[in-house]
């Protein structure tokens, strides 16, 4: 009799849902290949971070409760984003610090919630993936994943097992790209300069591919690179690890077969 699979609830994140469903399907494939059964609760929308970081605690709490309800019964909750993962794992606890009943539920959720790549590497102890990608990639460490969740070695370890891929380090990998959620809306000129510096660093590595684990940063960096006319393929790390790069052109790239 096969073992009972781990039941994973996938928190898709609003940016993957809106901009890049491929990342969601790559996450599903990675999780299923690793022996998990994956479900996607239909009542999820967003983690609530835009409200939380704008000082709108009431709306942040409403949305957080919705997430807590939606992901009640799973063994684990997996998120293809360090930013949304950090929100659920750390900030829900702060949000409900003065509401014991909600705090307890938030804590229960936080304990089971992981960013996708760290879940694969740290929880499922995945050592390698069965994927191929021909190229030289550089990797940007998204801030929340790096500093709130300790995502640093996990993507590098798994990327090392991708056939055909070589990884070259980005010198400023730990410096923010300037996305910052609502920051890029409130201070676009500063955000633009930050991502210009980042783009220059990326180009200087000579890599033909840029990978990261957060759609926000990826949209920002891809948008700058295409505007500058730089030929760097930008993808979410999950797409490469799942070996699903053949199905969709890189972020921001022309799509000849578009219906």
Partner 1 sequence: MQPTSHAFKENAREALGNANLQKALTLMRTGFPERRTAAIARLPEFEALREEAKAIKNHVLEHLDFYLETFEQQVTARGGQVHWCRTPQEARETVLAICRRLDAKTVTKGKTMIAEEIALNDYLEENGVTPVETDLGEYIIQIRKEYPSHVIAPAIHLVKEQVAASFRATHTDLDPDRVLDEAPTLVAEARAVLRQKFLAADVGITGANFCIAETGSTIIVTNEGNGDLTQTLTKAHIVLASLEKLVPTLEDVSTILRVLARSATGQEFSTYTTVSTGPRRPEDTDGPGEFHVVFLDNGRSAMLGTEFQDMLRCIRCGACMNHCPVYATVGGHAYGWVYPGPMGAVLTPTLVGIGEAGHLPNASTFCGRCESVCPMKIPLPKMMRHWREREFEKQLSPAAYRYGLKLWAFFASRPPLYRAATALMTRLLGWVGGPRGRFRSLPLAQGWTQGRDMPAPEGRSFMSLWAERRKNGEAA
Name the residue nearer to partner 1 (CB basis): 77 or 251.
251
DSSP letter for each residue of 52-118: HTTT-HHHHHHHHHHHHHHTTT-SEEEES-HHHHHIIIIIHHHHTTT-HHHHHHHHHHHHHEEEHHH
CB nearer to partner 1: pick between 161 and 172? 172
145 is a contact residue toward partner 1 (CB under 8 A): no
Burial (0-12, 13-18, 19+ Cβ within 10 Å), 234? buried
> Whose CA is closest to 142, among 134, 133, 152, 132?
152
| Distance in angstroms (rounded) separating the CA atoms of residues 177 and 167 | 19
Whichever of 61 and 105 has its CB closer to partner 1, that residue is 61
End-to-end CA, the chain: 45
Closest distance of CB 248 from partner 1, Å = 6
By CB under 8 A, tell whether 230 contacts partner 1.
Answer: no
The DSSP call for residue 121 is: I
Structural contact between residues 91 and 52, judged by C-beta atoms closer than 8 angstroms: yes
**Whole-angstrom distance, CA of residue 140 vs CA of residue 35:** 28
Tell whether residue 45 is a contact of partner 1 (CB under 8 A).
Answer: yes
Give the H/E segment covering residue 26.
helix 21-33
Smallest separation, CB 59 to partner 1 (Å): 4
- 57 near partner 1, rule: CB under 8 A: yes
The minimum distance between CB 144 and partner 1, in angstroms, equals 7
Using CB under 8 A, which of the segments 103-111, 127-135, 185-193, 235-243 binds partner 1?
185-193
Among 33, 34, 50, 201, binds partner 1 (CB under 8 A): 50
Say whether residue 166 binds partner 1 (CB under 8 A). no
Q: How far is the CB of 232 from partner 1 (least distance, A)?
A: 13
Q: Work out how close the CB of 102 gets to partner 1 at its nearest, in angstroms, rounded to a whole number.
A: 16
Show contacts with partner 1 in window 10-39 (CB under 8 A): 12, 14, 16-22, 24-25, 28
The residue from 158, 176, 237, 242 that contacts partner 1 (CB under 8 A) is 176
**Least distance to partner 1, CB of residue 217, Å:** 10
Q: Where are the alpha helices (DSSP H) in 182-214?
A: 183-186, 188-205
């Amino acid at each position: 009799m096969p073992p009972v699979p781990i039941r994973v609830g996938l928190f898709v994140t609003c940016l993957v849902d809106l901009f890049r469903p491929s990342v969601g399907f790559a996450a599903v494939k990675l999780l299923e290949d690793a022996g998990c059964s994956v479900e996607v609760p239909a009542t999820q929308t967003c983690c609530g971070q835009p409200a939380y970081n704008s000082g709108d605690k009431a709306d942040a709490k409403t949305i957080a409760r919705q997430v807590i309800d939606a992901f009640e019964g799973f063994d684990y909750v997996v998120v293809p984003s360090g930013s949304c993962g950090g929100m659920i794992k750390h900030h829900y606890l702060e949000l409900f610090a003065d509401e014991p009943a909600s705090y307890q539920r938030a804590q229960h959720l936080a304990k089971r919630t992981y960013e996708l790549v760290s879940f694969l590497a740290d929880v499922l102890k995945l050592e390698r993936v069965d994927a191929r990608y021909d190229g030289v990639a550089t990797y940007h460490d998204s801030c929340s994943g790096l500093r709130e969740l300790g995502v640093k070695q996990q993507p590098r370890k798994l990327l090392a097992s991708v056939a055909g891929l070589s990884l070259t380090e980005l010198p400023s990998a730990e410096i923010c790209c300037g996305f910052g959620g609502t920051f890029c809306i409130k201070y676009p000129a500063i955000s633009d300069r930050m991502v210009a510096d980042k783009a220059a660093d990326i180009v200087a590595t000579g890599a033909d591919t840029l990978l990261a684990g957060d759609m926000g940063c990826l949209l920002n960096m891809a948008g700058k690179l295409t505007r500058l006319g730089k030929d760097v393929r930008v993808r979410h790390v999950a797409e490469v690890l799942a070996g699903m790069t053949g199905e969709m052109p890189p972020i921001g790239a022309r799509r000849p077969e578009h219906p």
